[in-house]
């Protein structure tokens, strides 16, 4: 009997040890006053910090994050690029989660399952993103998984983005009145327009994780006198090419290695705007250890034009021999040989609805419902809240009117789908898909046709979560919709997002099984039409 008890105890202990580690955080969200461009303004702070705290995790860690909302308005956080496998309950978008009411708290609980790389989080409601509340989120590889480069001497997160000096409430009011928020006032690097960095030892190599957390503008990043070796992009290891500068579009993250192999002094890091008639710049300083020599005042010039950016994109390649988050090499998944089940063409549009400007996809401008779409679907009242497939797989004729409604696209579980993102406008666009990585297989000028597939990269396109679409051009992405849930596909340009250029993709597993999707967490906030309804039966 004692032997049985001992065996039971040992089994229980081994089960505990087998579970992936937990990281616990408590975040207090408050307003605060900052002046990064010299103008005092209200910002959203996390634990008093702007930008917010950096989350430093490892593949498969469980993150438990208790968020206290001390604002005077509802609040939500989303995790840009974190796939939330089987768990859209934690995605933190208005279509999946009820907001955290003022004066209350909510605990996110998710696993960074089978992912590595550089990501960020940000507030997803209204124009909160314009006020801060964002921060870096890194996922390190597990010790047993080889990484295709030596450990750097240090690892830095560099958050770059355009910045407005108007408050998020003022910006929202401008958009609600049907006007544009115009051009940003400047560019920030880690919350400042200029900042010193810690000392770098000569001869050593350092990793910089650069994310564009802004609202509108693509940025170019470069370091005076130093080449940057690209090693990772949106969670995928890349072929390691050297670059003098890199375009980072809104919502994208990339990692570079920089070797301190120049004269030991200070050097400027530069983030400057792209594709604009005006130039906005932020600088930081990369300082060699012991340096007392200031950087050269002559900033390295950035690139000019669209063609340069497009050609740089063509140089990005997936590293087919590097291990992913698991021991299998990234190239073991042969995406180019899978038969396409469905092709969806999404074209952006802009127009007036009741005299006010709206943006749309395939003629529908999304509006959030008081009942999150995921909850409506789970509770079986979707027909009361939204209509599936209010858009078709082809854009309407040009000039068609825009309809304002919740925009939900139905995707069959495990279908392999090609999505064509068309941009008929004169400015660049960026799109992000929650819950997935996709293969950015092709880009081209003009309108996409089936013949455009001949230009696709079907071997080593980088698997990523955010893709730019150049003016009057198209981008093609391909993926298997194998992650059940309700997932945001959105413009990362937040003025467009706020005014409706987004949709949700509903991916339902017919099995209603825990194999495919987790049950709704017990602490899920309820709002809208699901309040008071009996809880649906659990998945098994």
Quick check: 531 pLDDT over 80? yes
More confident residue, 192 or 25: 25
Percent of the chain with pLDDT over 90: 90
Are 32 and 43 in contact by the 8 Å Cβ rule? The answer is: yes
DSSP states along 288-347: ETT--PPPPSSPPPPP-SHHHHHHHHHH--B-TTSB-SSSSBGGGS-GGGSPP-EEEEEE
Length of the chain: 540
State the average pLDDT over residues 303-330: 93
DSSP states along 135-184: EEEEEEPPTTS--SSPPPSEEEEEEEEEE-SS-HHHHHHHHHTT----S-
User: Would you put residue 380 in left (φ > 0), alpha (ψ -120 to 50) or beta?
Assistant: left
Model confidence over 93-129: pLDDT tens digits?
999 999 999 999 999 999 999 999 999 999 999 999 9
Its sign, for the CA torsion 220, 223, 224, 229, is: negative
State the average pLDDT over residues 46-58: 98
Please give the Cα distance from 446 to 443 (Å, whole number): 10
Helix (H) or strand (E) holding 375: helix 373-378
Please give the Cα distance from 139 to 173 (Å, whole number): 37
Model confidence over 474-523: pLDDT tens digits?
999 999 999 999 999 999 999 999 999 999 999 999 998 999 999 999 99
Which DSSP letter does residue 539 get?
P
Please give the Cα distance from 65 to 44 (Å, whole number): 17
Neighbours of 481 (CB within 10 A): 21
Quick check: 155 pLDDT over 50? yes
Helix (H) or strand (E) holding 536: none
Model confidence over 340-394: pLDDT tens digits?
999 999 999 999 999 999 999 999 999 999 999 999 999 999 999 999 999 999 9
State the average pLDDT over residues 164-171: 98
State the average pLDDT over residues 23-41: 97
Please give the Cα distance from 104 to 69 (Å, whole number): 6
Please give the Cα distance from 219 to 245 (Å, whole number): 10
State the average pLDDT over residues 161-175: 98
Please give the Cα distance from 366 to 510 (Å, whole number): 26
Please give the Cα distance from 87 to 71 (Å, whole number): 27
Q: Give pLDDT, residue 250.
A: 98
Which DSSP letter does residue 519 get?
P
Please give the Cα distance from 138 to 59 (Å, whole number): 10
Residues 6+ apart with CB under 8 A from 69: 29, 75, 100, 101, 102, 103, 104, 105, 106
Between CA 181 and CA 122, with CA 495 as vertex, the angle to 5 degrees is 115
Q: Give pLDDT, residue 331.
A: 84
Q: Give pLDDT, residue 159.
A: 98
User: Could you tell me which of 281, 40, 272, 32 has the C-alpha nearest to residue 166?
Assistant: 40
Model confidence over 214-247: pLDDT tens digits?
999 999 999 999 999 999 999 999 999 999 999 9
Are 469 and 327 in contact by the 8 Å Cβ rule? The answer is: no
* 392 three-class SS: coil
- Average confidence score pLDDT of the chain: 94
Please give the Cα distance from 210 to 230 (Å, whole number): 11
Q: Give pLDDT, residue 195.
A: 65
Quick check: 13 pLDDT over 80? no
17 — pLDDT class (breaks 50, 70, 90) = very low
Q: Give pLDDT, residue 18.
A: 62
Please give the Cα distance from 360 to 402 (Å, whole number): 7
Neighbours of 447 (CB within 10 A): 15
User: Could you tell me which of 77, 70, 75 has the C-alpha nearest to residue 55?
Assistant: 77
Model confidence over 425-448: pLDDT tens digits?
999 999 999 999 999 999 999 999
State the average pLDDT over residues 456-478: 98
What are the structure tokens assigned to 510, written together?
A: 């017919």
More confident residue, 201 or 273: 273
Please give the Cα distance from 154 to 240 (Å, whole number): 19
What are φ and ψ of residue 375, in 5° steps?
A: -65, -40
Quick check: 56 pLDDT over 70? yes
State the average pLDDT over residues 258-285: 95
What are φ and ψ of residue 191, in 5° steps?
A: 85, 0
Extended strands (E) in 384-465: 403-404, 408-412, 416-423, 429-433, 438-445, 463-464
* 377 three-class SS: helix
Model confidence over 275-288: pLDDT tens digits?
999 899 999 999 99
State the average pLDDT over residues 8-37: 75
What are residue 75's DSSP bridge partners? 100
Are 50 and 11 in contact by the 8 Å Cβ rule? The answer is: no
Cα distances (angstroms) measured from residue 215 to each of 47, 373, 432: 23, 25, 13
State the average pLDDT over residues 464-478: 98
């Amino acid at each position: 009997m004692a032997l049985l008890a001992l065996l039971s105890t040992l089994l229980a202990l081994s089960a505990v040890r087998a579970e992936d580690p937990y990281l616990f955080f408590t975040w207090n969200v408050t307003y605060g006053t900052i002046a990064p461009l010299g103008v005092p303004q209200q910002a959203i702070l996390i634990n008093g910090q702007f930008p917010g705290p950096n989350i430093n995790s490892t593949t498969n860690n469980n993150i438990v994050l208790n968020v206290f909302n001390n604002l005077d308005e509802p609040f939500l956080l989303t995790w840009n690029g974190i796939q939330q496998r089987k768990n859209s309950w934690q995605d933190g978008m208005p279509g999946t989660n009820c907001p955290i009411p003022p004066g209350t708290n909510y605990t996110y609980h998710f696993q960074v399952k089978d992912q590595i790389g550089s990501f960020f989080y940000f507030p997803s409601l209204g124009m909160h993103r314009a006020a801060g509340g964002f921060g870096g989120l890194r996922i390190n590889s597990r010790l047993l998984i080889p990484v295709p480069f030596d450990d750097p001497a240090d690892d830095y997160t560099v958050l770059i983005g355009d910045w407005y000096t108007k408050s998020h409430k003022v910006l929202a009011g401008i958009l609600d009145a049907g006007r544009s928020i115009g051009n940003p006032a400047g560019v920030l690097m880690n919350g400042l327009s200029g900042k010193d960095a810690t000392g770098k030892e000569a001869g050593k190599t350092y990793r910089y994780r650069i994310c564009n957390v802004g609202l509108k503008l693509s940025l170019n990043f470069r370091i005076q006198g130093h080449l940057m070796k690209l090693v990772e992009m949106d969670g995928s290891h890349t072929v390691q090419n050297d670059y003098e500068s890199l375009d980072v579009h809104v919502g994208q993250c990339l990692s570079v290695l920089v070797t301190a192999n120049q004269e030991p002094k200070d050097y400027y890091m530069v983030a400057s705007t792209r594709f604009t008639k005006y130039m906005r710049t932020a600088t930081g300083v990369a300082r060699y250890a012991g340096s007392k020599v200031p950087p050269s005042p002559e900033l390295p010039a950035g690139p000019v034009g669209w063609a340069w950016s497009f050609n740089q994109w063509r140089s990005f390649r997936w590293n087919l021999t590097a291990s992913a988050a698991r021991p299998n090499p990234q190239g073991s998944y042969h995406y180019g040989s899978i038969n396409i089940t469905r092709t969806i063409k999404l074209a952006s549009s802009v127009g007036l609805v009741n005299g006010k400007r709206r943006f749309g996809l395939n003629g529908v401008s999304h509006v959030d419902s008081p009942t999150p779409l995921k909850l409506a679907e789970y509770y079986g009242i979707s027909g009361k809240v939204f209509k599936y497939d209010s858009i078709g797989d082809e854009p309407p004729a040009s000039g068609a009117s825009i309809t304002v409604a919740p925009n939900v696209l139905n995707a069959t579980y495990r279908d392999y789908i090609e999505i064509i993102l068309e941009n008929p406008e004169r400015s660049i666009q960026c799109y992000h898909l929650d819950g997935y990585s996709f293969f950015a297989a092709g880009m081209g000028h003009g309108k996409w046709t089936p013949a455009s597939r001949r230009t696709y990269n079907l071997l080593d396109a980088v698997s990523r979560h955010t893709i730019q679409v150049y003016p009057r051009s198209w981008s093609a992405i391909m993926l298997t919709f194998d992650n059940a849930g309700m997932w945001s596909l959105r413009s990362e340009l937040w003025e467009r997002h706020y005014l409706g250029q987004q949709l949700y993709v509903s991916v339902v597993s017919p099995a209603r099984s825990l194999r495919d999707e987790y049950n709704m967490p017990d602490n899920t906030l309820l709002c809208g039409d699901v309040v008071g309804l009996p809880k649906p039966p659990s998945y098994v």
